[in-house]
Amino acid sequence: MSEIWEGMKAAVWLIVTLDPELFDITLRSLQVTVTAVVIASAIGLPLGALLAIQRFRYRRATIAVLNALMGLPPVVVGLIVYLMLSRSGPFGVFGLLFTPTAMIIAQVIIITPLIASIAHQAIRDLWAEYHDLMISMNTTKGQRIRTLLWDGRRALMTASLAGFGRAIGEVGAIMIVGGNIDNATRVLTTAIALETGKGDFGLALGLGFVLIGLAIFVNLTIHWVGRTESEGRW
């Protein structure tokens, strides 16, 4: 019991003094995850919108693949990315394994389906609402897409935030492809795993608090965005 208490005290101390190691790890976590979210959003948001309004040949197949990918265990994604990037793998020549880039690739694969799927649902609902009006107003396809993306921007933001929430807390895949190397690929989750194993609860808990703080921040933002969205709908 006292061990936990000591750990808590140490954790708070590390946070209030802006401990350089804790600060570094947090910053790297944010760098990797924010980059991954930006890339995954750039792919997932338009893809979701397209799936919602455009009827094309492999639409159903694409949705099925997205749903299947969403169910993929991150560890398996990590394993596949590892095999692809390893020296003998097809992308081995780039030497990306155990770099932040590898971690970003893994996270992008994990959260793109999630972001696309949430965007798909949101835009589909909005399109159902707007359909008759926009057809009646003789809009072009481009105008429809732009209108839906703009009026659905809050929902799309929620999709990206959900992706962020998933990526920042992910440990399995980035542990495998990043290798948890000190000063290079160590991020919040992998550091917590390591420090806990070593019995250094102070740093582990400090990092844990930061992670919880980020998660709460993301969820509050999602909640707030959703509330302004639904405010006064009826």
Partner 1 sequence: MVGSILPLELREAVVRRRGKRLLGPVDLTVGAKGFTIVMGPNGSGKTTLMRSLHGLQRLTEGEAVWAAGMEAVRKRQAYVFQQPVMMRRSVRDNLAYPLLLHGTKKAAARMAAEEWAARIDLTEALDRRATQLSGGERQKLALARALIREPELLFLDEPCANLDGRATRDIEALLKVEHERGTRIVMATHDMGQARRLATDIVFLLNGKIHETGPAEPFFAGPATPEAGAFLKGDIV
Residue among 22 and 145 whose Cβ is closer to partner 1: 145
Residue among 25 and 45 whose Cβ is closer to partner 1: 45
The closest of 152, 171, 179 to 48, measured between CA atoms, is 152
**Closest separation between CB of residue 146 and partner 1, Å?**
10
**Closest separation between CB of residue 56 and partner 1, Å?**
21
The closest of 136, 209, 160 to 35, measured between CA atoms, is 160
User: Please, what is the Cα angle at 27 between 25 and 206, to 5 degrees?
Assistant: 50
Dihedral sign of CA atoms 80, 82, 85, 86 in order:
negative
Which residues of the chain form contacts with partner 1 (CB under 8 A)? 126, 129-130, 132-133, 135-139, 143, 147, 151-152, 229, 231-233
Residue among 3 and 132 whose Cβ is closer to partner 1: 132
| Euclidean distance between the first and the last CA atom of the chain, given in angstroms as a whole number | 52
**Closest separation between CB of residue 226 and partner 1, Å?**
13
Residue among 25 and 157 whose Cβ is closer to partner 1: 157
Distance between CA atoms of residues 77 and 23, nearest Å: 28
**Closest separation between CB of residue 224 and partner 1, Å?**
16
